[in-house]
Every structure is written in structure tokens, then in C-alpha cells.
Amino acid sequence: MSDEKNTEQLSVSIGKDLSDSVVIAGKDNITHVNITNITQLPPQEDVSTPTEKRRNRKFIFFIYVCIVTLVLMGLSGWLLTRDILQPFSRGTYGVIISQFDGDTAAQKNKGKEIQGSIQNTLNARFREWGINDAQAKRTPKLIKSHEQARAFGKKYHAELVIWGYLTVQGIIPNLTIVHQEDAVSNFISPEMTILKDSLSHTALATEKDIRLPALTDEPGRMISFVTGLKYYNQKHYPKSIEYFTYALPETDTKYIDNSRIFFFRAKAEYYLKDYDKAISDYNKAIELNPNFDTAYNNRGFAYDEKGEYDKAISDYNKAIEINPNFDTAYNNRGSAYGKKGDYDKAFDDYNKAISENSKNDSAFLNRGNMYYKQGAYGKAIEDYTKAIQLNSKNDSAYNNLAGLLATCADAKYRNGARAVEFAKKAMVLCPNNFEISDTLAAAYAEAGQFEDAVKTQEKAIDMLNEKDKTLYLIEFTERLNFYKARKPWQDR
């Protein structure tokens, strides 16, 4: 008997010729089958029992519910995380808020509520204060250490991460400053755990709303302080004062050095020449931190501007007492002594400042001024030159050197061309300064450029405001008349 098996041929009509033939592949051979005029077969009958049909429908419904649930879970997860999937824009003070973890399901749910409350409150505070480049966002990620918070914050270009735990006693929150090297870390602890001694909140056992001043006001005020520093560094002093004021908490907190906020607000007020307000804020900074040597020094500088030299010297003394190596305080005290006419003490302080810090360009500048007043012109030129070498942006050093070279009583030190060169450099650094314009005019006159001298001196006079006119108008006009007469101006 042959082992080969034939494949059965089929010939069924369907009323329309689809093809001349098809290839039927059997197990052991291949044959061509004619399918011309194949007729459609009737559908097979469903022989399932009613019970089986119900079971199938339930199974299909179960699969459908599972699919919908998974889709909804994925959608909710996406909705929750969509706002931090992209890193914060550069220049934005980004705040990431993690869910607050807990041991029970109720605590975890409450942790989500706290997370949302912090986000909403912070963003509302930013809008209220006009901080347009700060934003708080949530993440479902549970953060459990400062190291993890810092790594997560760097990934999304955030500056601050808020995270924590919930217990039966209440909330244990943590704040992590992402970039520890930032200047703000000098005033605010980069890693904080805010315990119950500074956090006003209700226990989780109650049904009252949980209030989170430490988790909304403190970070909000901290970000306002950072914004104030930004405006201060940009020399937008009124705006910086506004944000420093927002940054001050109603009550002291051990996590933010409030003395620094008063200190920087005072510095901004000083640059606006509001010396009384500056002194008042330095007083507050010193009251909070009695060993704040820089606050004493800066308050002394404000007294100096008011002409109260004894008070200024007293503050410089205190700054030096706290920090015996404080070269800036020695330099400033020397300046106050010089204004009082006590030149020996002034020289001693300038020398001490330079011995403490050989790169203190202001000390060289001020000592040069003392040498100039005493007629030691060569030493004055050396100190001005050294100040410029240490800081090519020291406009006063350029200006004073130019003035010496243009008007020195000793003719051997005068050099009109060099004076013009240095005065122009000072003018580039400080273009709207009437004193530099006055120096440049004198330099032009010494160089024989009298037409330029007249035009420049007239500009200097135009720059004088009402207060300056009282002090300088007669002197400036006298020099202008010299230049019109084609005469240089020389110190007498």
C-alpha cells in the first residue's frame, strides 16, 4: 500500500468566478483546486448554552472594565504629572512639591491634599507679589531624603523641593535647596526639617483644615528674598526693597536669617541715598545679630555720608573688634579720620587695610588721595596706578590720576595727553558723573585742546542738580572762564 495520501478536491459554487484555481497545501502534497462557481456556505449555528452565553458576556464586560480602568489610571497619572514632565525654564525659580508619605491609606490621601494646598498657596502668593518667574509644581514621586530631593530637583532645573511625612501627631515636612553653592545658602539652611516647634498646624486626628504657614509662607518669603537679591544685583533698588519687605516674616524663624533681609534692604536704601532708613534697618539687623560685623561697617558708612564721622568711627571700631582682620573697616575708618583732618590715623588705617588685604584697591586709592593732599605726588601716582592694576573698573582711581596729571602744582608731574587718556576711561565707566566731566575738561586744557575743554566743562555744569550747584557752580564757572581764555587750570 502506498504511504501517500491524496488531498480531497472541493468544487462548490458561489455564483461568481473568483479565480481559475487556488493552491491547496496539504500535509504531504500540494494540489491545484478549481474554485470556479463555489457557493457561499451558510454560517454555522451557535450551539452555546444560555449559561455559557451569560458567562461569556460577563467575561467580556470584565475585560472591558479592566481596559477602561487602566486607561483612566494612566490618564489620571498623566494629568497629575504633566506639568513637571518638562524641566522648569532657565531663570525660573522652580519649586517641586512631593506627596507627603504616610503609613496608612488615610494619611497618604491627606498627603495628596497637603501637596495640592502647598502648590496652590505658593502660586497664589507669587501672583500676589508679582513674582512672574517662580512656579510651584507637584510630582507623585515620593521623596524620602535630601539627597534624593536634590538629585530630582536638578533633573527638572528646580531650585527648591518640599517633601515630608505624615504621622498621627501631624506633619513632618522637609525643604531642600537644590543648589547648595548658591549665595542664598549663606542665609538660609540648604536642608531643613520643620518640626512642630515652628509649624502651626492641626493634628491629623481633627477634621479642621490643616494650616501650613511654615510650608507656604516660609518658602514663599524665601523666594521673595531670592527675587529681592536678583533685583538688588541688577541695581533695581526700589524693586529689591519691595521684595525684601515681602520676605520678612511676621515672626522670627530659625530657618531664615532675618538679619540678612534687613541688611540687604538697608544696602538698597543706602544706594538710594535714604540714609536714615538704611541706618534704621542696619539697627534691626544688628539687634537680631549682635556680631554682624558687616552691618556695623555699613551703618558706619551711612553715618559717614551724613557727616556724622564720630558715629561712623564708633561703628568701624565695633566691626574691627568683632573681626580684627576686617580690611574694609580699616579702610573706611581711615577715610573718616581723613575727613576729620586726622591724617596720621588715616595713614595708619590705610596701611593696616593693605597689610590685611594687598588687593584692596579702595585702600590704595584712599592712601593715594592722602599722599596727594600732602604733596607726595609721586607716591600718589604709584597708589592710583596700583588701584587701577587691581581693578581696571575703579573709575575714581582713573579720575583722580587724571586730575593729578592735568592740574598738579608741580609741573614735572603734569601730562595733558595721559590725563585725557585716563579721564576718558573714567568717563566710559561712569558717563554721567559731573566730577569726571570736570576732570576731562581740565585734561583737555592741559593738552592745549581748549575748545574741547570749554564744551566738556559746560556739560559738567549742565549735569549739576540744585544741590550740586550750591557746592560746585562757582568753582566750575571759574574754570570754564579759564578755558575760554585759553588757560589751563592748575592746583594752587
At 217 the pLDDT is 66
- 178 and 250 inside one domain: no
At residue 402, the pLDDT reads 97
Regarding whether 363 and 478 lie in a shared domain, the answer is yes
Q: Do 268 and 413 lie in a common domain? A: yes
What digits encode the pLDDT tens for the residues 111-139? 888 888 889 888 998 998 888 889 999 99
Rounded CA separation 410/405 (Å): 10
**Tens of pLDDT along 141-193?**
899 999 999 999 999 999 899 988 887 767 777 888 888 776 665 666 677 66
Confidence of residue 407 (pLDDT cuts 50, 70, 90): very high
Q: Is residue 5 part of a domain?
A: no
**Within this chain, do residues 161 and 128 fall inside the same structural domain, yes or no?**
yes
pLDDT at 369: 96
Q: Count up the domains in the chain and report the number.
A: 4
- Asked which of 221, 251, 274 is the last residue of a domain, the reply is 221
Convert the pLDDT of each residue in 251-273 to its tens digit: 666 556 788 899 999 999 999 99
Question: Are 154 and 188 found together in one domain?
Answer: yes
Read off the pLDDT band of 318 (50, 70, 90): very high
pLDDT average, residue stretch 265-286:
97
| More confident of the two residues 491 and 279 | 279
* Lowest model confidence (mean pLDDT) among 11-20, 229-238, 338-347, 402-411: 11-20
What does the pLDDT look like over 362-394, one tens digit per residue?
Answer: 999 999 999 999 999 999 999 999 999 999 899
Residue after which a domain boundary falls, among 187, 221, 255: 221
Evaluate whether residue 48 is within a structural domain: no
Q: Are residues 92 and 57 in the same domain?
A: no
Residue 44 pLDDT: 53
Which stretch of 39-48, 239-248, 347-356 has the lowest confidence by average pLDDT? Answer: 39-48
Q: Indicate whether 253 and 381 sit together in one domain.
A: yes
Q: Is residue 229 part of a domain?
A: no
Domain extent, residue 26, equals 11-40
